[in-house]
């Protein structure tokens, strides 16, 4: 990886306020002889240089801190205008600019990349109707379905508060006591838990979304599959690579794009009618469950291609902010509680990390015209702040056009307006925490069969045993009990592997 400045571009060095300075290596010192020690507050170059260095880092994301990213484009290949009014999806051949940021979840910035972890997939599509963010993962399901558990899940995957070390006991203790995550664990500890390259991962919405038109809506799940094929690393290959080339995923993506070998993904949707949701075997608002392909086949929609490396990592990727709440007309949230919580949490994280005007940063700014005069001032305002335009709603002093549909009376839907009966089915307000039942093990069991068909069961057992070995004995026993509920032979095999491989 290299970055070569343009030879002809010879700028004149200045301080950040524009004053030219002859030498960036000097500082003003007091003294007449050869020993010159004391320095001066009037030396703006020195003081600015030291003070700015202290402030170079912005708050690290609590999760998804370590990432690789690139620019690209999304092209529609199949007409789905009968399903969504979203304009960027509505003409075969239509292209939209994209920014993609793919991250590990637990590790801090700068951590080794070829590790077993979920990959986050932050994809911003710059459309004529504003930005459309797809904030997906490389596994189709998640570990919890109750958002109040989200901070705890992530802490258990990060560092022990006393030792500051990743902790297998914490990890498995959380999952032993929150077994709705068994399906996600089956996938994380399969071979796909460690991608060979960012170019070879799937991406899944996980959540159910709505695609809306004037006539109503359908539920969808979105999938992106790499045209390069899915490729993963064994635990042993990853261990070696983490030592030899810990930034392999960054280098691999950068170098491929730099040599013109542009990676691409095909986007598919699964489509379900509201009436089907009411009678479906699985709760479609439960993020721990997939829609089996046999029930809802994948339908192709378009193609994502990455074709440009960031010119500056900080401005293009570190300052990028993605949120499931950033949606265009024609796409709407479902009643998935995890999705609802993320719609609050992601912009809130961006406001904390980047400041309240983060949408104005070049990597986040929509290509469509923005007029949001009721959102004013705040730290680091970069535009004219709407000058003298009224800053309150209902002003008669300046005409403003309004378009789009208004939120329905029940608060659920501007959003394609489902039938009253369906909105009632979606639910009334209650204080709720889900229970784990045998239903949570059914899809995990199907995954165990998928691994059997792929000849990957032994490797799965080896991966779990390798991680679980670091846990306390009582945590190991509880974890074996949990896997026994997937398949009685699976728990036993993990137990045997723990004994044999230790």
Binding-site residues for heme: 346
What letter would DSSP give residue 139?
Answer: S
Using DSSP's 3-state secondary structure scheme, residue 170 falls into helix
Q: Active-site residue among 64, 157, 207, 462?
A: 64
Query: CB-wise, 202 or 364, nearer to ligand NDP?
Result: 202
The CA distance from 493 to 483, in Å, is 10
Rounded to a whole number of angstroms, the minimum distance from the CB of residue 2 to ligand NDP is 34
Residues lying near ligand NDP in the complex (CB under 6 A) = 140, 183, 187, 190-192, 202, 225, 230, 290-294, 443, 446-447, 450-451, 454, 456
User: Is 137 annotated in the active site?
Assistant: yes
Query: CB-wise, 131 or 457, nearer to ligand NDP?
Result: 457
Rounded to a whole number of angstroms, the minimum distance from the CB of residue 205 to ligand NDP is 10
Query: CB-wise, 195 or 416, nearer to ligand NDP?
Result: 195
The CA distance from 96 to 127, in Å, is 6
The CA distance from 372 to 417, in Å, is 26
Using DSSP's 3-state secondary structure scheme, residue 135 falls into strand
Rounded to a whole number of angstroms, the minimum distance from the CB of residue 232 to ligand NDP is 7
Query: CB-wise, 115 or 317, nearer to ligand NDP?
Result: 115
Query: CB-wise, 183 or 342, nearer to ligand NDP?
Result: 183
Query: CB-wise, 74 or 448, nearer to ligand NDP?
Result: 448
Q: Active-site residue among 131, 137, 364, 463?
A: 137
Which helix (H) or strand (E) segment holds residue 396: the answer is: none
Query: CB-wise, 271 or 450, nearer to ligand NDP?
Result: 450
Task: Report the helix count and the strand count for the chain, using DSSP H and E.
Answer: 14, 10
Using DSSP's 3-state secondary structure scheme, residue 494 falls into helix
Using DSSP's 3-state secondary structure scheme, residue 372 falls into coil
The CA distance from 405 to 408, in Å, is 9
Nearest residue to ligand NDP, by Cβ distance, number only: 447
Rounded to a whole number of angstroms, the minimum distance from the CB of residue 446 to ligand NDP is 4
Judge contact between 231 and 196, C-beta under 8 A. Answer: yes
Report residue 63 as tokens: 């999760």
The CA distance from 274 to 340, in Å, is 19
Rounded to a whole number of angstroms, the minimum distance from the CB of residue 326 to ligand NDP is 24
Judge contact between 105 and 79, C-beta under 8 A. Answer: no
Rounded to a whole number of angstroms, the minimum distance from the CB of residue 442 to ligand NDP is 8
Rounded to a whole number of angstroms, the minimum distance from the CB of residue 410 to ligand NDP is 30
User: Is 64 annotated in the active site?
Assistant: yes
| Number of other residues whose CB lies within 10 A of the CB of residue 145 | 22
The CA distance from 63 to 66, in Å, is 8
Helix spans in 318-437 (H): 337-354, 420-426
For 41, 190, 201, the CA distances from 113, given in Å and listed in that order, are 43, 17, 14
Report residue 456 as tokens: 């990957």
Using DSSP's 3-state secondary structure scheme, residue 220 falls into strand
> Which sign, positive or negative, has the C-alpha torsion 2, 106, 469, 472?
positive
Q: Which residues are catalytic?
A: 64, 137
């Amino acid at each position: 990886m290299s970055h070569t400045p343009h030879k002809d571009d010879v700028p004149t060095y200045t301080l950040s306020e524009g004053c030219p300075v002859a030498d960036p290596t000097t500082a003003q010192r007091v003294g007449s002889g050869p020993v010159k020690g004391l320095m001066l507050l009037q030396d703006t170059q020195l003081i600015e240089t030291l003070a700015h260095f202290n402030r170079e880092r912005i708050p690290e994301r609590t999760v998804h801190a370590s990432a690789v990213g690139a620019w690209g484009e999304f092209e529609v290949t199949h007409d789905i205008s009968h399903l969504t009014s979203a304009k960027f999806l509505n003409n075969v051949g239509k292209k939209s600019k994209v920014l993609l940021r793919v991250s590990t979840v637990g590790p801090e910035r700068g951590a080794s990349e070829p590790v077993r972890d979920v990959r986050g997939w932050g994809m911003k599509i710059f459309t004529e109707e504003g930005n459309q963010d797809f904030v997906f993962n490389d596994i189709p399901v998640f570990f919890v379905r109750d958002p109040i558990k989200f901070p705890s899940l992530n802490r258990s995957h990060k560092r022990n508060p006393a030792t500051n070390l990743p902790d297998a006991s914490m990890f498995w203790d959380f999952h032993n006591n929150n077994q709705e995550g068994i399906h996600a664990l089956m996938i994380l500890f399969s071979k796909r838990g460690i991608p060979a390259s960012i170019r070879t991962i799937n991406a899944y919405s996980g959540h159910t979304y709505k695609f809306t038109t004037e006539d109503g809506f359908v539920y969808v799940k979105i999938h992106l599959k790499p045209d390069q094929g899915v490729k993963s690393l064994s635990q042993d290959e990853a261990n070696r690579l983490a030592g030899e080339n810990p930034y392999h995923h960054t280098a691999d993506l950068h170098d491929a794009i730099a040599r013109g070998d542009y990676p691409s993904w095909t986007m598919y949707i699964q489509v379900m009618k509201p009436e089907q949701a009411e009678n479906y075997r699985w709760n479609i608002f439960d993020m721990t469950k997939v829609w089996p392909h046999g029930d809802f086949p994948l339908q192709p929609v378009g193609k994502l291609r990455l074709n440009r490396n960031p010119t500056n990592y900080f401005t293009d990727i570190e300052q990028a902010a993605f949120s499931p709440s950033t949606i265009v007309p024609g796409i709407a949230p479902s009643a998935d509680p995890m999705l609802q919580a993320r719609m609050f949490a992601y912009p809130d994280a961006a406001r904390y990390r980047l400041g309240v005007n983060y949408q104005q940063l070049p990597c986040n700014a929509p290509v469509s015209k923005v007029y949001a005069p009721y959102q004013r001032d705040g730290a680091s305002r970069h535009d004219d702040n709407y000058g003298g335009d009224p800053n309150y709603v209902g002003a008669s002093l300046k005409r403003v056009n309004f378009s789009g549909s208004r939120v329905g009376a029940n608060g659920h839907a501007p959003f394609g307006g489902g039938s009253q009966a369906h909105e009632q089915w979606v639910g009334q307000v209650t204080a709720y925490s889900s229970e784990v039942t045998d239903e949570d093990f059914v899809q995990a069991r199907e995954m165990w069969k998928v691994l059997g068909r792929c000849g990957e069961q032994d490797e799965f057992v080896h991966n779990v045993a390798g991680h679980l070995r670091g846990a306390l004995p009582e945590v190991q026993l509880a974890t074996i009990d949990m896997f026994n509920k997937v398949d009685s032979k699976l728990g036993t095999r993990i137990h045997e592997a723990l004994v044999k491989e230790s």
